[in-house]
Structure 1
Amino acid sequence: KVAEAGERAATRERACIAHLKRLALNSGTAIAAAARALAELDLHAASAQLATEGGWCRPELTERAEFCITAGRHPVVEAVQKRARGPAFVPNDCDLSPGRRLCLLTGPNMAGKSTWLRQNALMVVLAQAGLFVPATAARMGLVDRLFSRVGGGDDIAGGRSTFMVEMAETAAILNQATARSLVVLDEVGRGTATWDGLAIAWAVLEALHDRIRCRAIFASHFHELTALAGRLPEVQLARMQVREWRGEVVFQHLVGPGASERSWGVHVARLAGVPRPVLKRAAEVLAALETRARAGGRDALAEELPLFAQARPEPAAPASPLHAMLAELDLDALSPREAQEALYRLKSLADQKIDPDAEATAAQHENTVAATSDTVV
């Protein structure tokens, strides 16, 4: 009996499983219908929870070619910031109504250009899926296709560079988009030489405006493109707003009217940890380029650029111990205790009332005496 108990139990289990399988197959239609009903209930419950807790609104869908978002937000970025207890997400409007259906967006990196592009594209996906959208109000005309060319990537195995992938995606947009489409483009033409990239971006912007006539957001660092606002009637200019405070750049993450005058790329490089000598040299080259651009336009930029000139170190001026110590301090690397000790040392040097000019005179006198002694010898 003990030896046969295991086999009897296995036989009973197989019989029970076979019985359950027959019951499930006989009730397959009802089970599938219940699963679909539960999935739909789950979808609506999740949508209602998002709308209630996140302050989402019910979008108004129309047949007109319009796109008006009031205080829109990026749902994923906003959720991550809340979870991390970070700063509150800054909402922004978007108006691509007839007469202003193509927005040319300029401004620095890290200021939120890509986020704004993507959140407006997500509004279309959510609204046309029948869901609420993260905004105070939303009214948009139906979109037949949504096109996005944001970010960078390559296809090494396929023999396509980053710029080739970018151009292939841009070509797909230009060949397939219609007047009912929504297009978001970020930094078209940045993967090649400056004038080549500017020419491509210029032509793409004109094609979107004149031939395709779709609603579009076109983000770019080519500030020369802003000249098109005067000759393309349905182009509106927008920029990411920044503030300069005590020599620092503060990104406000706000979209405002007009064109940005600078990209603040050197500032972003500093935030990324690029070494100070490189940043200093980049600032010198940038200042030279901007000066020549203001003085003589494009032709002047091609002449005597300092890009490959070696930086000539200026002769060091005589410095007092106080100045020398200040120059050696790395303020960003000091702990509170080290900062306090440095202040004490600086105070001690300052109390000695060292005169840099007197030191320079003394040093010059010593050099003169040494030279005279050599001559006498």
Structure 2
Amino acid sequence: AMDRGGPRDLAAIGQGLVAAASLADLVADTGAGELTAAAEGLARPDQVLAAHLAAALAEDLPLLKRDGGFVRPGYRDSLDETRALRDESRRVIASLQTRYAEETGIRALKVKHNNVLGYFVEVAQQHGETFLKAPLNETFIHRQTMAGAMRFSTTELGQLEAKIAGAADRALGIELDVFAELVRAILDRSDAIRAAASAIAVLDVAASNATLAAEEAWCRPLVDNSLAFAVKQARHPVVEQAIRGRAPFVANDCDLSGSDGKSHEPRGRIWLITGPNMAGKSTFLRQNALVAVLAQAGAFVPAASAHIGIVDRLFSRVGAADDLARGRSTFMVEMVETAAILNQSGPRALVILDEIGRGTATFDGLSIAWAAVEHLHETNRCRALFATHFHELTVLSRRLDRLSNATMRVKEWRGDVIFLHEVTEGAADRSYGIQVAKLAGLPSTVVERARQVLAELEATDRSAPTRRMVDDLPLFAAAPRPVAAPQADPVLDLLDGMDPDDMTPREAHEALYALKARRVRTP
């Protein structure tokens, strides 16, 4: 439609129409609503067009129409005649080369062509000198001398070139006319072709989802109007494929459909997930978000069972990225995205948050994460997965009745940590960051010194202050202060009445004293 297609595009449409007819026969009697509608869309295209395209286009097609040679022999008589003339002229060129070689006695003589000289005779340098002398110079006209070769033209070659060029141009012109006719035929049936393409897309998605469900043991989710989110033995569809053959994927349950303790109405629940790096927290967050997306797209999901209340918005704050071109650091980007979540998510939203507050000072980050969890619980009241290394936040479960602590299971063996990738109820007592650093290859001296510093810090029992905070501080103690209405500024009123261009020096001096006398001091 945009006049940018080529011969191969025309052939693809023709082949697609043939395939559409075959698909229509396969799905015609399924009785399924979407597949029946797809079958109707596949049956609409006129198969006469597919036959027309197949008859018109050659087997081996060029990419661009200007290259020619894409119309099948026998499709257009005038084209076949012009091609015959063009091909016969080429045979005449070959016979002419043979005759010139015999007449001059130079077997290495060649008749060649380029875009500058057209057709020309080329001989080696030593033979070219004889062409410059009589009687050969009467037949061969010198055109170009090169290092090791000389080029000549003849009147006979010039006439033959004009005949060949005309035949080639006429043949290409006829092919372009055929191309334009085929394009018009396709555009006349464009609505039916688009309907077939849409139907094939529906079948493609349905078949792909069915293949995944059958081969990967995915389940059919229950999606309803509740606020439930109960998934059993869920897996991450991409990570599972990536590690296949190397290690089994550890499936995990997730249940965010608890009650708020005040009514029987299901409410969203927040899971606060702690545990070491590399243990699978981010994978767990993402896989549950993907389950929600797949379920609401109408697909089966990678789980043993799934009951999901409709999610109106899905929010994700995972990973680290900056936006330096706009003056935003990594932490600023994190805060902007967190702000969007806290300001927009509602009871039907699903939120996954990973490591909020880790990009700034420890106590700054802990304070932000603490307040964010409280806001999600009391204001947003959404279903949420909140992964963190701030173990101090786990004490919030004593006050926030819909907050549950979960942790990633690990095992220590001879000073090393083994990640089990299992999510269980409870809270981690530490992050095993030093063990992860050791796995990453940090020098042994750095690892040992880090152990010493950690032991000294843990001896101060940093968790004690947070326990007192959860007992002593009320939720949302820092209530927003009301904004006072702006008051009139007498100095500004006085300035509004002045026009410096019309004031004399004396008047300006007096106005300055008046401003000084009217100055308002801020208490």
TM-score w.r.t. structure 1 length? 0.77
Does 2:188 align with 1:26?
yes
1:251 maps to what in 2? 419
1:55 paired to 2:217: yes
Partner of 2:327: 159
* Aligned counterpart, 1:115: 283
| Cα shift at 1:298 | 5.3
Equivalent positions of 1:358-373 (< 5 A) are none
Q: 1-side partners of 2:270 and 2:464: how far apart? A: 28
Quote the Cα distance in structure 1 between the aligned partners of 2:274 and 2:168: 76
Look up the SS of the partner of 2:325 in the other structure: coil
Question: Is 1:93 the equivalent of 2:256?
Answer: no
Deviation at 1:291, TM superposition (A): 1.5
Letter in 1 for 2:271: C
Structure-2 residue corresponding to 1:218:
386
Which residue does the alignment assign to 2:300? 132
2:169 equivalent in structure 1: 7
1:287 aligns with 2:455: yes
Q: Which whole-Å deviations, capped at 9, do the CAs of 1:162-206 have from their partners, x for residues lacking one? A: 110000000000111011100000010111111111110000000
CA distance in 1, matches of 2:378, 2:216: 39
Pairwise mapping of residues 228-377 of structure 1 onto structure 2 (< 5 A)? Answer: 228-293=396-461, 297=464
Check conservation: 1:92, 1:255, Cα contact below 8 A.
yes
Cα deviation, 1:320-370, whole Å, max 9, x if unaligned, reads xxxxxxxxxxxxxxxxxxxxxxxxxxxxxxxxxxxxxxxxxxxxxxxxxxx
In the alignment, structure 1 segments of 5+ residues that lack a partner are: 300-377
Q: Could you tell me which amino acid in structure 2 is paired with residue 11 of structure 1?
A: G
How far residue 293 of structure 1 moved from its aligned partner, in angstroms, is 1.4
Alpha-carbon shift at residue 62 of structure 1 (Å): 1.2
Choose which of 12, 32, 35 in structure 1 pairs with 2:197: 35
Identity over aligned pairs, percent: 57
Matched, 1:149 2:305: no
Give, in angstroms, the shift of residue 247 of structure 1. Answer: 2.1
**Cα distance in 1 between the residues matched to 2:196 and 2:378:** 51
Structure 2 counterpart of 1:103: 271
Structure 2 distance, partners of 1:161, 1:197, is 15
Partner Cα separation in structure 2 for residue 241 and residue 166 of structure 1: 27
Instruction: Give 1:292 deviation, angstroms.
Output: 2.0
What is the match of residue 11 of structure 2?
Answer: none
In structure 1, what is the Cα distance between the partners aligned to 2:424 and 2:311?
A: 25
Structure 1 distance, partners of 2:381, 2:406, is 19
8 Å Cα contact 1:185-1:218 kept in structure 2: yes
CA contact (8 A) 1:65 1:98 kept: no
SS at match of 2:182: helix
Any idea what SS the aligned residue of 2:249 has?
A: coil
Q: Which residue of 1 aligns with 2:230?
A: 68
* 1:195-244 C-alpha deviation (Å, 9 max, x unpaired): 11111000000000011100000110001101100000000110000011
User: Any idea what SS the aligned residue of 1:132 has?
Assistant: coil
Aligned pair partner of 1:195 in 360, 363, 368: 363
What's the TM-score once normalised by structure 2's chain length?
Answer: 0.56
Letter of the 2:186 partner, please give it: A
Amino acid at match of 2:416: E
Shift of the alpha carbon at 1:297?
A: 4.4
CA distance in 2, matches of 1:138, 1:22: 51
For residue 208 of structure 2, what is the aligned residue in structure 1? Answer: 46
Cα offset for 1:57? 0.6
Amino acid at match of 1:89: F
Give the distance between the partners of 2:269 and 2:228, measured in 1 at CA. Answer: 8
Q: Match of 1:157, SS? A: helix
Give the partner amino acid of 1:92. N
Question: Out of 349, 364, 375, which is 1:207 matched to?
Answer: 375
Structure 2 residue runs without a partner (length 5+): 1-84, 90-163, 260-267, 467-523
1:358 aligns with none
**CA-CA distance at 1:8 after TM superposition:** 2.5
1:171 corresponds in structure 2 to 339
How many residue pairs were aligned?
296
Structure 1 match to 2:499: none
Q: Secondary structure at the match of 2:408?
A: strand
Distance 2:230 2:236 in 1: 15
User: Are 1:78 and 2:246 counterparts?
Assistant: no
- Structure 1 equivalent of residue 94 of structure 2: none
Q: Between the two structures, name the one with larger relative contact order (CA 8 Å, sep ≥ 6).
A: 1
AA aligned to 1:232 is L
- The residue type paired with residue 163 of structure 1 is F
- Relative to 1, partners in 2 of residues 1:249 and 1:190: Cα closer, same or farther, differing over 3 Å? same
Runs (4 or more) in structure 1 with deviation over 6 Å come to none
Superposition deviation, residue 277 in structure 1: 0.7
Quote how far apart the aligned CAs of 1:98 are: 2.6
Higher alpha-carbon deviation: 196-205 or 4-13: 4-13
1:51-76 alpha-carbon deviations (Å, 9 max, x no partner): 11111111100111110000000000
